[in-house]
Chain A
Amino acid sequence: MEEETLVYQQDEVHTIPTSLEELSVAGRLRIIERRHSAYIEWRCSDDESNPDNDWAVVNKSAVTFTHHNSSGSVEISTPRRHVRPISVELADLGSYKLTIEGSLVLIQRDGSTHPALQFPGKDAEYFVEVLSRYVAIKRSEKDSTLFLLRDKKTARIDDQLSALGLVSHASRGSRVRKLHGSSSSDSNRSRGSPQHTSSSQVELHSAVVPWTTAAPQRVMGFISNFRRDPYTTTLTTLSKFYDIVLSEDDWAEGFVSERGGDDLNPFASLSGLDNLEPGFQVVTLKGKLVERPRVERLPPLTQLEYSQHCDVDGGVRDPQLLKRRIFKGGIHPSLRSELWCYLLGYYDWSSSSAQREVRRNERLVEYQKLKLQWSTMTADQELRNSGFRERKSLIEKDVNRTDRSHPFYEGDDNPNVQLLHNILMSYVMFNFDLGYVQGMSDLLAPILYVTQNECAAFWCFVGYIDIVHRNFDMDQSGMKEQLLGLQHLIAVIDPEFMSYLESSESANLYFCFRWLLVRFKRELSYSDTLRLWEVLWSQEPCKNFHLLVAAAILDHERNTIMENKFEFTEILKHINDTSQRLNLEELLCSAEAIYEQLVASSDVPAAVLTLLGLPLKPSSQDGEADVSVGELASEKCVSTDEETSPLESSRIISAGPSSSRGKKENFVLYRRCDHNDDDDFLSEEDTSGDSCGGAGDNNASVVPRGDTSATDGAPRGLVGTVTSILGSAVRHIAGEDASIDLLSPISAALHNEGLFEDAIGQQYL
């Protein structure tokens, strides 16, 4: 055994349940010195197994277990032992969240985020004191519960440097981020915190080295990305370029003086650039959004209240009013099995009890027919039907791993698992083209659990798939559209965060994929999933409310993500790890508040209004009928420019003078708007949609100012080089000159004063 020194120990540190179903588990928190490192460890008190320290890194949140009785109305919990222990080497700990209530969340540098722990007596003071012997702790300015950790040596050098005034704080900060926050995953290995590179070196110096040696990879990476997706790669690179430019303190000042006494706020154009988003329309808000209102939610709809909504025949008098009520508070569990049938279109709202009886009987006959179709298929027939075989085998695999920890589906030979299978197989016969796609079993399981009836569950499932079928498009276009819609939203709600995501190659929001595919089911406890879904099915207060829920989660995590300087990999990990730890009621409040905020604000871009199915406001309707985000922006961007657009039909994506360490050259990036791609709003019932990536079909060109031909001659300076490369790149996309050799400006640059290394060092590529 290795030798250990125990430096801190606290018993009765509990896990914090995030839902009613979960039970708090007590454990022991310790700080231990082992060899040359210190570790924070937490272990469940009654976890006598695993005495060895094999849990190198613990990745998942504590598993929660629940017991429901079969009616689903009462939920009792039993604690399970073997809640995952936590063990984090201090050098790997990037930050922690600590509230005044004494709840602690450990967040690692790689994004791994541990379940919240509760200190007894709400007192974490001594823990923090011991911790501060090892690391420098700094409270976040944006989030008072977030504490960022740095290696002590690094922190000291940092402080000395800034005391000397050699490096200005702002630009230094941004440089460090650039240097350490590698973006493409191929540089993962050299990633790490400052203290990992070399303790004997001044941080700035030591940090430069890896980037220079990583140069070849970065070049190759850029080129291969470019081949794969020229449009995005080009613009991502450009946007990073802006990021650097914007982070230069002197630039903003220079810009102000350059522009002289113009009446425009110099920062108006800055915010325009900040909003650069994928798809690369600039969303320039003329005015800020109004403040987000406080929103209250109601308790769930009860039987008594529901009966007041019904007429004598048992029909619902005012479905809209009832749906609004369901949106505000959800449905009491005892009412769910009935009301879900309405929400999912199995029953008509206006139907009387008698009519519903008829409907049930008709639908039962139909369901049984479908069931016969697959259950009577002979082995021989199957042999000749590969489409059927594939779907069948997927279903068999998936039902066996769907919610098996939930009591309703638990255990070997659970008959409810067979019911899931039957319903999904029948759905294959009902809609053979869509068939079965992974994720569907996740959507079905809660429905069967609530309805407790095979036939009703089938028809409710049909109704649910009608709503979300675009999630299962063969080419994933429905998912891509939703992610794009979410980007639009974030860009409006939180431009700063969007531009952060942009600069860390995360603007694609892939880490939200799972949220959207199964409507947050994997992120929430069972009872919260049921609650969220009925809220979403109410179709109140607008279209695509689920995207507002996603935006609310991101809003909740944005400070943690930005202050930890997380990039794509770390964000994904952090987001995955917040699963099962969301507070649904809080999220629903913020999602609704964001909705109210957007409704009350003028100047919300048309794309976002359309996304939510809100009426276009007069202010956004002036001009042509075809109002798009980019056009709103272009007025502003053009006016920040001394020259007017050389291309009549151009829409400016972004524009601005740029500078980099004294080498100045201005450029403007245009995209033609002869092809309208801003109207890709999401319609849940909509059938169209061959918007598949669309990387290649955007016409764009980079035009260096005062030199319309980017490849002619040799533009000097770093900016010139990058502009020239990107210029050819974009022309290439635009198909203007298919013969252009993309590599030549790059290789030329390589022989040119090491400029390319420069570009790499600065992470332009």
Chain B
Amino acid sequence: MSTGSGRKKALLKVIILGNSGVGKTSLMNQFVNRKFSNQYKATIGADFLTKEVMVDDRLVTMQIWDTAGQERFQSLGVAFYRGADCCVLVYDVTSPDSFKALDSWRDEFLIQASPRDADNFPFVVLGNKVDLENRTVSSKRAQQWCQNKSDVPYFETSAKEAINIELAFQTIARNALAQDQDLDLVNEFPDQIKLTDDKQNKQDSCAC
């Protein structure tokens, strides 16, 4: 008769970013609920789903945040970036614009979330909708981009056909956990605080 009080579950916060319509909500739901529906609505505001997964024999809870992709609403989204352990950047393989936007999504995330070690913060890139015929962004181009960003893991997915979803989220969970543990390590040695650490991310975010 125990409520499992001795166990400590790690909570991993994952943020999914990308242009409106690339399939962020669909990917999240495919992973968490194993369902695809064409009845999902455009995301307004933000929400998260949680799912427990095993990462190398460790039970972790993933808290996956889904925000609206339309540019105008980004000033809201940034409120949720803080404390993320991994950032998933999604583009739609049939939309070059959504691929081009990856850079600005990544930059915006780094500015707003100001992770301790921006260079080594875990990102994962997903090229979604590979089930569609009219693909316009080649794998090679996407891989190139990921290599240039210090070897960001890249997956080609379909939320609709459930292609590569498990694999991608396993990697996301593993990298998030590594990030999480890194932080724990650092936190055991508070002497290491460098107050100037996030200066490189300094930027005024007021849009006025």
- Min CB–CB distance B77 → chain A (angstroms): 10
Contact of A151 among B3, B47, B79 (CB under 8 A): B3
Which parts of A20-66 form the interface with B (CB within 8 Å)? 33, 36-38, 54-57, 59
Tell me, yes or no, whether B24 is within 8 Å of chain A by CB. no
Q: A89-B4, A151-B5, A692-B206 are in contact. Are A576 and B114 (CB under 8 A)?
A: no
Q: Are B82 and A186 in contact (CB under 8 A)?
A: yes
Which parts of B71-92 form the interface with A (CB within 8 Å)? 72-73, 75-76, 79-80, 82-83, 85
Contact of A91 among B4, B48, B50, B197 (CB under 8 A): B4
A510 to B13 alpha-carbon distance, docked (Å): 19
Given the complex, which residues of B lie within 8 Å of A670, measured CB to CB?
none
Q: Are A690 and B82 in contact (CB under 8 A)?
A: no
A746 to B193 alpha-carbon distance, docked (Å): 12
A13 to B46 alpha-carbon distance, docked (Å): 32
A518 to B85 alpha-carbon distance, docked (Å): 31
Q: Are A693 and B198 in contact (CB under 8 A)?
A: no
Q: A401-B42, A438-B68, A513-B76 are in contact. Are A220 and B114 (CB under 8 A)?
A: yes
Q: Are B208 and A692 in contact (CB under 8 A)?
A: yes
Given the complex, which residues of A lie within 8 Å of B134, measured CB to CB?
none
Which parts of B27-43 form the interface with A (CB within 8 Å)? 32-34, 38-42
Tell me, yes or no, whether A439 is within 8 Å of chain B by CB. yes
Tell me, yes or no, whether A351 is within 8 Å of chain B by CB. no
Q: Are A405 and B39 in contact (CB under 8 A)?
A: yes
Given the complex, which residues of B lie within 8 Å of A673, measured CB to CB?
none
Q: Are B72 and A56 in contact (CB under 8 A)?
A: no
Given the complex, which residues of A lie within 8 Å of B193, measured CB to CB?
215-216, 219-220, 750
Given the complex, which residues of B lie within 8 Å of A746, measured CB to CB?
195
Q: Are B72 and A185 in contact (CB under 8 A)?
A: no
Tell me, yes or no, whether B140 is within 8 Å of chain A by CB. no
Identify the stretch in B119-127, B141-149, B151-159, B181-189 within 8 Å (CB) of chain A at 4 or more residues: B181-189
Interface residues of A, count at CB 8 A: 88
Contact of B187 among A195, A216, A223, A472 (CB under 8 A): A216
Q: A186-B82, A187-B83, A215-B190 are in contact. Are A572 and B46 (CB under 8 A)?
A: yes
Q: Are B32 and A402 in contact (CB under 8 A)?
A: no
A696 to B198 alpha-carbon distance, docked (Å): 21
Question: Residue-by-residue, is A201-217 near B (CB-CB < 8 Å gives 1, otherwise 0)?
Answer: 00000000000111111
Which parts of A425-478 form the interface with B (CB within 8 Å)? 437-439, 441-442, 472, 474-476
Tell me, yes or no, whether A631 is within 8 Å of chain B by CB. no
Given the complex, which residues of B lie within 8 Å of A142, measured CB to CB?
none
Tell me, yes or no, whether A77 is within 8 Å of chain B by CB. no
Q: Are A402 and B41 in contact (CB under 8 A)?
A: yes
Given the complex, which residues of A lie within 8 Å of B50, measured CB to CB?
56-57, 59, 110, 112
A438 to B77 alpha-carbon distance, docked (Å): 14
Q: Are A216 and B68 in contact (CB under 8 A)?
A: no
- Min CB–CB distance A224 → chain B (angstroms): 4
A215 to B186 alpha-carbon distance, docked (Å): 10
Q: A188-B63, A518-B44, A522-B41 are in contact. Are A221 and B186 (CB under 8 A)?
A: no
Which parts of A177-191 form the interface with B (CB within 8 Å)? 184-189, 191
Q: A91-B4, A110-B50, A475-B207 are in contact. Are A196 and B114 (CB under 8 A)?
A: no
Tell me, yes or no, whether A161 is within 8 Å of chain B by CB. no
A-B contact count (CB 8 A): 195
Chain A residue, CB-CB nearest to B33: A55
Q: Are A191 and B47 in contact (CB under 8 A)?
A: no
Tell me, yes or no, whether B202 is within 8 Å of chain A by CB. yes
Q: Are B5 and A437 in contact (CB under 8 A)?
A: no
Q: Are B195 and A747 in contact (CB under 8 A)?
A: yes
Q: Are B20 and A394 in contact (CB under 8 A)?
A: yes
A296 to B206 alpha-carbon distance, docked (Å): 45
Question: Residue-by-residue, is B97-121 near A (CB-CB < 8 Å gives 1, otherwise 0)?
Answer: 0000000000000001010100000
Interface centre among A33, A212, A514 (most CB of B within 10 A): A514
Given the complex, which residues of B lie within 8 Å of A297, measured CB to CB?
none
Which parts of A354-406 form the interface with B (CB within 8 Å)? 393-394, 397-398, 400-405
Given the complex, which residues of A lie within 8 Å of B9, measured CB to CB?
192, 196
A187 to B208 alpha-carbon distance, docked (Å): 30
Q: Are B198 and A690 in contact (CB under 8 A)?
A: no
Q: Are B76 and A57 in contact (CB under 8 A)?
A: no
Contact of B79 among A56, A90, A221, A508 (CB under 8 A): A508
Tell me, yes or no, whether A144 is within 8 Å of chain B by CB. no
Q: Are A214 and B187 in contact (CB under 8 A)?
A: yes
Chain B residue, CB-CB nearest to A515: B45
Tell me, yes or no, whether B201 is within 8 Å of chain A by CB. yes
Tell me, yes or no, whether A122 is within 8 Å of chain B by CB. no
Given the complex, which residues of A lie within 8 Å of B2, measured CB to CB?
36-37
Residue ranges of A at the interface with B (Cβ–Cβ < 8 Å): 33, 36-38, 54-57, 59, 89-91, 110, 112, 133-135, 151-153, 184-189, 191-192, 195-197, 199, 212-217, 219-221, 223-224, 227-229, 393-394, 397-398, 400-405, 437-439, 441-442, 472, 474-476, 508, 510-511, 513-514, 517-518, 522, 569, 572-573, 576, 690, 692-696, 743, 746-747, 750, 757
Contact sample, A vs B, 7 pairs, CB 8 Å cutoff: A187-B83, A188-B13, A195-B5, A228-B204, A397-B42, A401-B38, A694-B208
Residue ranges of B at the interface with A (Cβ–Cβ < 8 Å): 1-13, 20-21, 32-34, 38-42, 44-52, 63, 68, 70, 72-73, 75-76, 79-80, 82-83, 85, 112, 114, 116, 180, 183-184, 186-188, 190, 192-193, 195-198, 201-202, 204-208
New contact pairs (9) apart from A192-B11, A693-B208, A747-B195, CB-CB < 8 Å: A56-B51, A91-B4, A185-B13, A405-B39, A438-B70, A476-B76, A510-B46, A572-B46, A573-B47
The 7 lowest CB-CB distance pairs between A and B, nearest first, are A186-B83, A185-B83, A37-B4, A397-B21, A514-B45, A216-B193, A195-B5
